[in-house]
């Protein structure tokens, strides 16, 4: 990918929406394009923070591992997403492990070079912090909402979130083309695979959705929203 293509990609990322052309050009100069095969690890939890990433193509999941080796999914990420979210101004190790769900093409922004960039162009830091502040408020609101929900409501909320972020309209249906196992789904909502299986099977019986290999198809979005509001 040449510099013009990288510049055009960065311009579409909301985080950089306030940068002027000179600032964007300087950012473009330090970006490195990397490709990761499916199921390859991009970085591991606790390792030294070397870069932060923007997804050009593909899907990525981030997760934490507890002392028993169980995964807790932090997020599923798609093209245009940034990770880790604390990547810019933190010197701490990576807070989670990132793994490519599909082959992923990423724009890596090296931490040390980025630090030098904002030292010489502090206006970039000011503009990024403004946008990141808005994102932090949004994440806090989501956390407060989810922390008070029972398992059923968390499952329904997660399905709606997947439909919004990863769904593709196919007629009157919404296809969520995300190769995610039921265990990963359960890890994302803080429940067990058995509970998630039971709930998804019930939603299938009610013709609200159907599960297929590597995807979930929402058949009745209005019914799903109504169930969420009633739970």
pTM: 0.76
At residue 143, the pLDDT reads 62
Which one has a higher pLDDT value, 38 or 142?
Answer: 38
Task: Annotate the chain with DSSP letters as a single string.
Answer: --HHHHHHHHHTSGGGTT--HHHHHHHHHH-EEEEE-TT-EEE-TTS---EEEEEEES-EEEEEE-TTS-EEEEEEE-TT-EESTTTTT--SPPSSEEEESS-EEEEEEEHHHHHHHHHH-HHHHHHHHHHHHHHHHHHHHHHHHHHT--HHHHHHHHHHHHHHHHEEEETTEEEE-----HHHHHHHHTS-HHHHHHHHHHHHHTTSEEEETTEEEES-HHHHHHHHHH-
Average pLDDT over every residue of 6-29: 91
Q: What are phi and psi of 116, to 5 degrees?
A: -65, -35
50 φ, ψ to 5°? -105, -30
pLDDT at residue 137 above 80?
Answer: no
Which pLDDT tens digit goes with each residue over 66-82? 887 788 888 889 898 88
């Amino acid at each position: 990918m040449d510099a013009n293509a990288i510049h055009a990609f960065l311009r579409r990322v909301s985080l950089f929406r306030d940068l002027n052309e000179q600032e964007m050009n300087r950012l473009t100069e330090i970006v490195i394009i990397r490709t990761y095969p499916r199921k390859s690890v991009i970085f591991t939890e606790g390792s030294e923070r070397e870069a932060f990433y923007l997804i050009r193509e593909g899907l990525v999941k981030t997760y934490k591992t507890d002392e028993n080796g169980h995964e807790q999914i932090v997020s599923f990420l798609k093209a245009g997403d940034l990770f880790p979210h604390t990547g810019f101004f933190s010197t701490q190790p990576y807070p989670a492990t990132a793994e490519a769900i599909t082959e992923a093409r990423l724009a890596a922004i090296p931490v040390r070079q980025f630090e030098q960039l904002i030292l010489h162009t502090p206006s970039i830091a000011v503009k990024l912090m403004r946008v990141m502040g808005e994102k932090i408020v949004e994440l806090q609101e989501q956390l407060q909402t989810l922390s008070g929900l029972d398992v059923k409501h968390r499952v329904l909320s997660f399905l709606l979130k997947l439909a919004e972020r990863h769904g593709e309209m196919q007629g009157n249906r919404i296809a969520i083309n995300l190769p995610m196992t039921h265990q990963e789904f359960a890890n994302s909502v803080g429940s067990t695979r058995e509970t998630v299986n039971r709930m998804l099977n019930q939603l299938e019986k009610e013709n609200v959705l159907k599960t297929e290999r590597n995807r979930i198809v929402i058949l009745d979005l209005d019914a799903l929203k109504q169930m969420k509001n009633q739970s």
